[in-house]
Structure formats: structure tokens, C-alpha cells
Structure 1
Amino acid sequence: MDTNTTRAHRSTRRRSAARGRTFLRSLLAGLLLAFGAGASALEAQAPPPEQRTPTVAYNSHPEQQNFLIVWVEDRGKGPDIYGKRLANNGLPVGGPTKGGIQVIRSEVGNRSQTPGPRSNPALLYNPATEEYLLVFDEYTGEEEGWNIFSVRVSAAGYAIGKPREIVGGEGDQQRPDVDLIDLQNGGDQRRDYLVVYDDNTRDLDEIWAIRLRDNNIPLGRPELVFRDPNFNASDPTTNGASVAWVDDRDGQKDIWTLRLRNGKPSGTAYRLAGDGFADDYAPRYGSGGLVWNTYDPATGEDIVGVQVYDNNRTRGGSIGILVPVADQAWPDTANSLTVYADNRSGRFNLYGIRTTNFRRQGREFPIMLDLMP
């Protein structure tokens, strides 16, 4: 199993949670050392190309009807966000060896310094604005650590303007997800975004949220969604009407959830997924339900899914989507396409598979492959 993967089954109760903190901190330390030694040293220490933490969204515009996938990759200047368009059937435009584009070009916004490592992107298509919204976390320095940023993205996959810091301050704010508030409103009317994330300012992971207008301007201040003084709640995901997260209250990782009303918590939290034996982590709401990772000693990290009704109740039990040998990590799903990172080659590359009600339809296929030895 990849020792850089932060969601290994040996993870114990601690501040960090399932979506890449250990990997990113170790990689960050190497990058900082490299920066101190100069650009040539950075290039010499650059790790082999890998694609991690993919996220996918479906463009439902009648003239588009395709997907955009984005991920994190280090191409020699630190982890940044890259993207690629996928056809309506999920296959990559230009083939799996086409490298994709840098979503946020470094010259955009004329920032006074090179941005820190970026991680944990989440992507959403908004039919009302006919564009995507991308949220991610970025390391901003020792004083504030990791903060949350957002940026509008065109249908072609390029950032519109410069990223906006929407959450910052002491402690780390990481692993954001985004959706439109109150999906039950229906239609393509203009609605606000809800961005959820985990915050460890108090040395314990908590779930917080901030509301954004559809022009990417924050509406109000961040608000607490869920906390408990005795355990961590981290790596949240939202479908606009509910939030789910990784919860370690039972000494292992399970998926818990809470209903939302107008972006605010409603009711009490309850377990949504988890069998009491294996760790369950990296949840993502998508069209029709929820996908996440589970760990099996025989096959490594696997992907499972469950259908979820509008009231956030599940339909039937969880379904194993992918359980082969090697790790299938960081799943995300949109419009019956599930994407993930797979390390069958010894490093993580991107794959996809079509599903109906989270049951496989056909074979998996490569989306992004690095042919470098």
C-alpha cells in the first residue's frame, strides 16, 4: 500500500483525517527545503508524476453535455490543480495520455508570491451561471497554515479571474466540498453555494460551512455545522440539503450525516455508512447517492456506494463498485460516472467507470495516464 496515502488503515485517532494531510505535510516539507536550495534542487527532488484527489462535474448545458475532471499533480513547481474535459460517455477528450491543462494559471491576478501547494479540489457545475465553481485548500504559510479558496471556472476548464480566499485564520481549514443550497427548489434558478470544510483551530476537527453568492462572493461569515469535544469530524461532503463526514467516535472511521435547512444544521447526526469492522472514509455526494473508500486488508482501498433519497435516507445496502487488488482512492461521482485514482502502476493515475444506481456498467477505463518511467 502507498505509504504516502493518508487514509491508510493504520491511521489512529488524531487531528488529521482521511484526505491527504499526512501526504501533503511531508510533501510540503520537501518542497520548502527545495525552495531554499533553489529551483534546480526543486526539479531534482520532484516526485514521479501522480494524479491525486480527483473531482468531477457534469456540464448539463444542451450544447455541452460533457464532464470536467480536475485533480492535484506536481509537475515540478509544487502540487497544483489540473483539468481535462471528458466526453458524454466519460472517455477523455484527446485520450488518456493527453496531459490536461493547468486550471489556475500562475500569472492570473499578479499575486505577489508563488501560491503554496494546493490540494483537495471540489468542483460543481451551476446551470444558472453556465460555469463551474472550484473550491480547494492552499497552504498560505506558517502563520495561518491551510486556507480555503474558490474560483469560477469556464466550460473549457480555465479559471475566470483569480482565486478568492473565502476562509482563513488560525488553524487549518481543509478538505472543502460545494453544492447548491436546497436542491429541492429545483430548476435552474439562481441559488447560493454552500461550501463545507473541516477546521482544526481548536485542535479537534470540526465541520464548518460558508455561503457564497453565485458570483463567488461570500454571504455572511462561516458558521459551525457540527462539533463534538470528544472526537474528530472531518472530510465533509454536501449535496446542498445534507452534510456527511468522517467520524472517529467509535475508534475507527465511519460516515455520519446531518440534514441541513437553508444551509444550516437541522436535527441530529446519525451514522450513514460503516460496518463496524473496516475504516470508511473519503465520502462524496454525487448524483443519486454517496461514494466513499473502505479498507480491505486483502485488496487495499476499495470504492463503495449507496443510493440516497432526497430525505438523506439510504436505499438498500452499500454496493462494492471497485474492489480489485491495488488502491482505488478518492472517488467522486457525477451523472452516472465514478472517477478515482488507482495505483496499479505503482503510482496514482486516474480512471473512470460508468454506473447505474452504483452498479458497474462495462469496464473501467483510463482517464489520465503518465507514461514517464
Structure 2
Amino acid sequence: MGEIGFDEPVKSVDSDFYADPHRYYERWRQDGPVHRVRLASGVASWVIIGYAEGRAALADPRLRKNVTDMYELFRRKDAEILTNESSQALNSHMLNSDPPDHTRLRKLVTKAFTPRRVAALRPRIEAITAALLDEMAEHDEVDLLQAFANPLPVTVICELLGVPFEDRTDFQAWTRVLVGAVDTLEDRAAATLAMAKYLTELIAAKRGAPEEDLLSGLIQPADDGDRLEEQELVAMSFLLLVAGHETTVNLLANGIYHLLRDRAQWDALRADPSGIPAAVEEFLRHEGPVGWSTIRFTAEPVQIGEITIPAGELVYVALSAANRDPARFATPDTLDVTANASGHLAFGHGIHFCVGAPLARMEAEIAFSALLTRFPTLDFADPAYTPDWQHSILFRGLADLPVRPNP
């Protein structure tokens, strides 16, 4: 067994972390791949930043995700997080469960994301993309986040799930509170209650008048007779709605931002559009949409690298740090759209690998192809633009991205 981890000094995450987390990771990496870090909640958690260690941890069954046990652990540690009934209802989904519960829940939803089902969405995604770019062409300057990177995946997930697009302002506002790091517990409680109430009412409406959408399908029993209970339906809806749009929004915006910072990369993709699928993988590796994995906890002592994390400890894998580990990637801090980024951890690894990854990849490939073709001279509205990054350890995304489509 390695050295017991409580001897590790506790590192801290300050407010400047969100602007450049890679600066923190570079400093931490000098002390190894595993660290104790005190977060805004006040609780010292374990953060894995090494690629090999992180990949192994993501598939390690000793790192549990059962939401009931997780909340009990939060309470024992007096964590300043929301642990009320609405919060547990929203978070009792497959991403916060272990086998056999996870196996059952994932089976009920995976059928919606088969390669054939995803491929069938291509014409509609292409049409949405074209309409958004048509609208962009009418303006000298736009916020690319609001004009394109946000409405494309939001429209897709709303149509797939059967969520009214006109409700996007509400559910995105609640989402930003729930995944952010600056709102108060009162704000989080209000957003949690509002989101849970909204989804409960939406499911009731689908039950009364089912349509040809994923939520209506999830309400119905599966072929083997299994079905989601009411709380499971609410939690699954929450997971699919939030993860189904927020990650792709950030994938698009982050990728475009880094391309505009490096015109040679932009020109390389315009010259050879066949390289766009590989470029999407590089965007995911270089500045992926998810900063840290969702939380896990140790049910028993677990050795990670040279450190043994005791039982009853909270653990994160810093995906964005693992994806820039120089032990795995030759030039980790350089964006290279021609590089082989295979094996990155942006979508996770193991049984919790993102079920919507094929859809996100297809949306990104369509979006980048269309954008590069339609606006070959797209550029920052202000050459001195400095990004304002969301204050979230979970999601890595921009607050805005002002551009000129035809400068």
C-alpha cells in the first residue's frame, strides 16, 4: 500500500482558478498525480490530475457513486452543499449510481443513442445549423455563444427529449446556478426546487398526452417490462437535459475560441475539412467541455499512484488536467488539429462513459464544417478579447464570445 493520504498538504482553489486552471495543474503536477484540495464547500476532497491514474480511477469499482451514501457522507463532513429532498431527487440518476442500479438505468436510455438513432438526426441538425448561420449572416457582430454555440445543441436536445424550446431561458438559468460555484445555498435551493417542479410537471403532461419523443418513450415500460419510477424519471430527465446541451455548447464555443486564437489551425481545417472529426477530438482533449468528473467516494482504502486514499473520502478526476498530462500527450498545452488525440478522457471512461458522446461528436462535426465554410474570415469582434470563463469546476465554458462573421 502507498503512503496514507492524510499526510498530504491540502491545496486550495482560489477565485483565479477558473480563468486558468491549467496553471494550477502545472504547479500541482510537480508534487505528483493525486492531491488533497479544499473547495468552496470547505471540504477537502481528493483530485486526481494524472492521465494514467485518472483513467484507472474512472473505471475503479471501489470509487462509488451511490447518491444516498454520497449525501450521507456530505452530511458527516458538514459540507456546505445542498442535501435536501429536491436535490436528491434530481441527482438520483444513472451517473450517480453503481451496478446493478446503474446497469438497469443505463439500459433503459441507451437505446435512444444507438449509432443508427443518432445518424437519423443528421438532416435535422444540418437544417438547424444552416438556419442559425443564416441569421448570423444578417449581423455585423454577434455573440457566437448566444447566436450559434448555445441554440444548436439546446434545440437538438429539446426536440429529442420533447422539452419546449421556449422554456430554455428558465432551465438554462437553473442549470447555471446548480453547476456554478458562486451562488448561495438559498439560490441553489430555489433553482433545485424550480427544476424539479418543472420536470415533474413536464413528465405528467407527457404521461397524459405522449408524443414521439424520448421522454414519452421513457415513461413507457421497456420490452422486458421494466420501467422508470417517478423519481427516476425526474432524475433521468434532469441528467439528459443538462448533460445533453451544456457539454456540447462548451465543446463548440471552446473549440471556436481556440481556433480564432490560432489562425493557422483555422486555415488548416478550411484547407482540409476531412480533418474536422480528428480536430473535434483535439478540441475535446485541449479544452474539453467538462473540467472535472462528477464526484466519487471511497468505500474502502484505495491506492492511486503512490497515495492511499482512506475510506469515506470524496474523489474527483480532473479530466482537463489528465488530458494535458505530458506523460500521455507529447505537446499537451498546444492545440494541434492534426494530432492524434485518441484516448482522451473528455467523455469519461468505464461504465459511466458519456452515453451521448456520439451525438455530441456529430453535432460538433456538422457545426464546425458549416461554420468554416460559411464564414471563412470569422474573427473576434475585439482583437483584445479576454475570455470570461464560467465559475464551475464541473463545466469548462465561456460566458460569451463576441465575433464578427464577415470582418
Q: Normalized against structure 2, the TM-score is what?
A: 0.23
Higher strand share: 1
Greater relative contact order (CA < 8 Å, ≥ 6 in sequence)? 2
Give the structure with higher Rg (CA): 2
Q: Normalized against structure 1, the TM-score is what?
A: 0.24
Higher helix share: 2
